[in-house]
Amino acid sequence: MSALIEFRDVCKYYVMGDTTVKAADHINLKIEKGEFVAIVGQSGSGKSTCMNIIGCLDVPTSGEYYLDGQNVGQMHKDQLAEIRNRMLGFIFQQYNLLPKLDLLENVEVPLMYAGVSRTERRQRATEALERVGLGDKLRHKPTELSGGQQQRVSIARALVGKPFVILADEPTGALDSRTGREVLAMLQQLHKEGNTIVLITHDNSIAAQAERIIRLEDGRVVYDGDAHAPEATVHPKEGGAV
Amino acid sequence: MNLLETFKLALRNIAASKMRTFLTMLGIIIGVMAVIVIVGLGNGMETYMRDSFASLGTNSLSVVIMGRGSTRSVSVDEMYEIVDENPDCLQYLSPSVTLSPSVHIGTKNYTATTKTGVSEDFFAMKGYEIAQGRGLQYMDIADRKNVCVVGNYVNQMYFANQAVGQTLRIGSLKLTIVGVMEQQADDMEEGGTDDCVYLPYSTAAQFARMGSITNYTVTVTSEEQAAEGKKVLTDALYGIFHDEDAYLVVSMAEMLDILTSVIGIVITVLAIIAGISLLVGGIGIMNIMLVSVTERTREIGIRKALGAKESVILRQFVLEAATTSALGGALGIILGYALCRVATVVVSALTDAALTVVPAPASVLMAVGISVGIGILFGYLPAKKAARLNPIDALRYE
């Protein structure tokens, strides 16, 4: 069986004036179904580019990206939108909830674009919110909630479409350490339930929550393996100096 | 996401910024209102004119004889001959002699009453019915009898509905009233259609010491024959005078057509000017939609990340613009109708003309079509911009 996510020589170049920035330089990686992977790197290491490509928000300059066996690297924008809708669940650092909608409506948005009927939408969104412990706040606006609660709404929104992959981009970045731990615990729980989770972070201690770490530097993979092996937590400066 | 949901979303976004939406719509509201009122005014004017002309008779021709010096004129008998020779297009003839001295009844003087010398056919020509007594007859004309028929206003106001058999004077001319006309206007007034005295033209011409009669009214057998009738009369008069400047034949139907088309042109020009404000309104909508797209860049990014296709975003913004302008259009129609009523009262008060400003359904429909069309047209560009936003950039937008 092929991997759920597979990068084959994925490159992403940005031309800035005279210089070409290699944000992704021949990245090869495979993520299997049910894994909990952290992609770690300092800013500028290419982890955001990597996450954008995995999330089908961007396409590689060259190389191939297979998601569940489909080559999504060269798909049309509308097809990518559909892939994002059906196969991916996003959790953002800034939560990215729609402030004018209440929690229920926020969680319903992906289902709405998937064409799910109103009653089913309502039911599934309610279930997802109950699962993250916000079943009593369905009609609240996001601004009435704390940061941790908002992030739980965004987790509910990521879950509701039953995606193949949950993509969490610095999910604890805007939270204090205690609520951050709660959110991470929730991701752990989702992983135990069989979800594939890709966590993007610059923070080694957060990356250590995953079972596997992929470390990026200057657009290249410098480590890929067990999260608890000693090499996994190498200080980035030392790793990059070789 | 179906159309109804997109529409609800548009309504929500509009409701979220009521003041801004109202100001955006203002251009459309004023434009639609102006178009409706102007076209309504045009309709009113046309109806009013048609009615006025109908009372003059759109099937009548007016003939004015200027003569050629004093050498050659045309007699009443010659005029009758022309009419009799062309029975397929010409029907009745009546000379028309207007007298200027005022009417005296008892010791009172009435200046507003119209006094006209006519033939026995005049009442049939105009469709006037005699309510009391009799109309003018051939013998009255032939014998230059001192008789007259009065309008109902004279009968009611000056003779307490007992006019038949009484006398009145025009200057020094003493006339016996032999008949009273049926009331013509809905509301009788001094100087109106019902404030009149008709006497035999022969009597009037003699009293006025008029050698030859210069004004005639001729009716045609039907309105369609007006042009033909005019041609026949013109040809016959040219045969007598050999000079185009010696006579004038005016067809009421023709005059009505000319006036109608003039009003039509004026109204069209005014409506186009009003339409320009619709265009300005559309640009206002485009402007505010562009602002809205910029403000909602992040929202667009989130929606795209969650799976919204370009077409869905495009539809959302176009629908929002179209809804805004359609709402403006609806308000414009309501205000337009209200203003038409106000205009009816104001115009009637200012001009004494019973002019009704009637909104034309076609113009209302057009205004709605244009306002929705403008919404779609001017909403498309900002919507396209929104749909094309790169989700990564949009998500990062602060």
How many other C-beta atoms lie within 10 A of the C-beta of residue B276? 11
d(CA A47, CA A32): 19
pLDDT of residue A235: 56
Which of A86, A90, A98 is facing B299, going by the closest CB pair?
Answer: A98
Q: Is residue A50 part of a domain?
A: yes
Q: Which amino acid is at A43?
A: S
Q: Which residues of B touch A100 (CB under 8 A)?
A: 12-13, 16
HSE of A67, CA atoms in CB hemisphere, 13 A: 22
Domain of residue A152, CATH code? 3.40.50.300
Q: What pTM was estimated for this model as a whole?
A: 0.71
Q: Is residue A213 part of a domain?
A: yes
pLDDT of residue B177: 94
Q: Is B104 on the interface with A (CB under 8 A)?
A: no
Question: At residue B208, does pLDDT exceed 50?
Answer: yes
HSE of B127, CA atoms in CB hemisphere, 13 A: 9
Cβ contact B308–A81 (<8 Å): yes
Q: Is residue A227 part of a domain?
A: yes
Top pLDDT among B356 and B70 is at: B356
Which residue do the tokens 């919404």 mark?
B375
Query: Which residues on adjacent β-strands are paired with residue B64?
Result: B215, B248
Residues of B numbered 309-328 whose beta carbons fall under 8 angstroms of chain A's beta carbons: which are they?
Answer: 309-312
d(CA A42, CA A39): 10
Over residues B115-120, the mean pLDDT reads 92
d(CA B289, CA B296): 10
Dihedral class, residue B331 (left if φ above 0, else alpha if ψ from -120 to 50, else beta): alpha
Highest mean pLDDT among A172-176, B143-147, B246-250: B143-147
Q: In this predicted structure, which of A215-219, B56-60, B131-135, B379-383 has the lowest mean pLDDT?
A: B56-60
Q: Is residue A172 part of a domain?
A: yes
Structure tokens at B66: 């200027």
Q: How far is B1 from chain A (nearest CA, A)?
A: 5
pLDDT of residue A122: 94
Question: At residue B198, does pLDDT exceed 90?
Answer: yes
Q: How far is A88 from chain B (nearest CA, A)?
A: 8
Q: How far is B373 from chain A (nearest CA, A)?
A: 27
Cβ contact B307–A110 (<8 Å): yes
Q: Is residue A241 part of a domain?
A: no
Over residues B295-312, the mean pLDDT reads 91
Q: Which residues of B touch A81 (CB under 8 A)?
A: 304, 307-310
Nearest to B156 by CA among B174, B129, B183: B183
Taking the C-alpha atoms of B348, B349, B352 and B355 in order, what is their torsion angle to the nearest 10 degrees? Answer: 0
pLDDT of residue A234: 60
Query: Which residues on adjacent β-strands are paired with residue B218?
Result: B61, B93
Q: Is residue A240 part of a domain?
A: no
d(CA B240, CA A191): 114
How many other C-beta atoms lie within 10 A of the C-beta of residue A211? 15
Q: Is A78 on the interface with B (CB under 8 A)?
A: yes
d(CA A81, CA B391): 10
B69 pLDDT band, cuts 50/70/90, is low
Domain that includes residue A65, residue range: 5-232
Encode chain A (242 residues) as per-residue pLDDT tens digits. 578 999 999 999 988 888 888 889 999 999 999 999 999 998 888 888 999 999 999 889 999 999 998 998 778 889 999 999 999 999 998 889 999 899 999 999 999 999 999 999 999 999 999 999 999 999 999 999 999 999 999 999 999 999 999 999 999 888 898 999 999 999 999 999 999 999 999 988 888 889 999 999 999 999 998 888 777 766 555 444 33
Residues of A numbered 31-60 whose beta carbons fall under 8 angstroms of chain B's beta carbons: which are they?
Answer: 52, 55, 57-58
Q: Is residue A204 part of a domain?
A: yes
Nearest to B255 by CA among B396, B87, B1, B52: B52
Residue A8 is classified by DSSP as E
d(CA B149, CA B156): 13
Residue A75 is classified by DSSP as -
d(CA B46, CA A222): 87
Cβ contact B302–A96 (<8 Å): yes
- The domain total for chain A is 1
Cβ contact A58–B16 (<8 Å): no
Closest Cα in chain A to B12:
A100
pLDDT of residue A242: 36
pLDDT of residue A241: 38
pLDDT of residue A26: 92
Q: Is B308 on the interface with A (CB under 8 A)?
A: yes
